[in-house]
Amino acid sequence: MKLRRSRESRKGRIEIIPMIDVMFFLLATFMLASLSMLHLNSLPVNLPKGHAEVLGTQQPLTLTLTHDQHLFINKIPVTLSSLPGVLRPLIGADGDLVVAADHDTPQGLVVEAMLAARQAGALHFLIAVQDGR
């Protein structure tokens, strides 16, 4: 007499469709998470309204000018006279500098800060604006 097992062994199968669904879900999650992590190294200021392209993935060097005429480079407080000395070692090879000036900052101070940054080696100035749509 031949005894049968109570359970028959079956070969397992890998279902590919649910795996693809999970991979698309993870891809969308990581894309949204990476977009929300994009921020400037600046202090919160009242930016002027406008429309501009979104920056790439690299972390930009930011010059912040507040309404009470204080200057910061990536949250490091500087004065107008010490700006070139502090900025020179931080400026990248591309020479990009994001200028985040408060709406109430005097235009003369913004121009003086940009000229001092030009002395330090800044080649391209990117103006930070608040989306005005």
Residue ranges of domains in the chain, CATH in brackets: 49-131 (3.30.420.270)
Q: Looking at residue 37, what DSSP letter applies?
A: T
At 91, list the tokens.
């400026």
In this prediction, residue 113 carries a pLDDT of: 92
- Give me the residues paired with residue 100 across strands: 64
Tell me how far apart the alpha carbons of residues 77 and 83 are, in angstroms, rounded to a whole number: 9
Tell me how far apart the alpha carbons of residues 102 and 116 are, in angstroms, rounded to a whole number: 18
Q: Looking at residue 82, what DSSP letter applies?
A: T
Task: Indicate yes or no: pTM above 0.85.
Answer: no
- More confident: 133 or 80: 80
With H, G, I as helix, E, B as strand and everything else as coil, classify residue 48: coil
Q: Supply the Cα-derived Rg of the chain in whole angstroms.
A: 27
Say whether pLDDT at 12 is over 50: yes
**Which residues are CB-neighbours of 99 under 8 A, at least 6 positions away?**
62, 63, 65, 110, 113, 114, 125, 126, 127, 128
In the block, tokens 């007499």 appear at 1
In this prediction, residue 28 carries a pLDDT of: 93
CB 66 within 8 A of CB 43: yes
Q: Give tens-digit pLDDT for 51-71.
A: 666 655 467 788 999 989 899
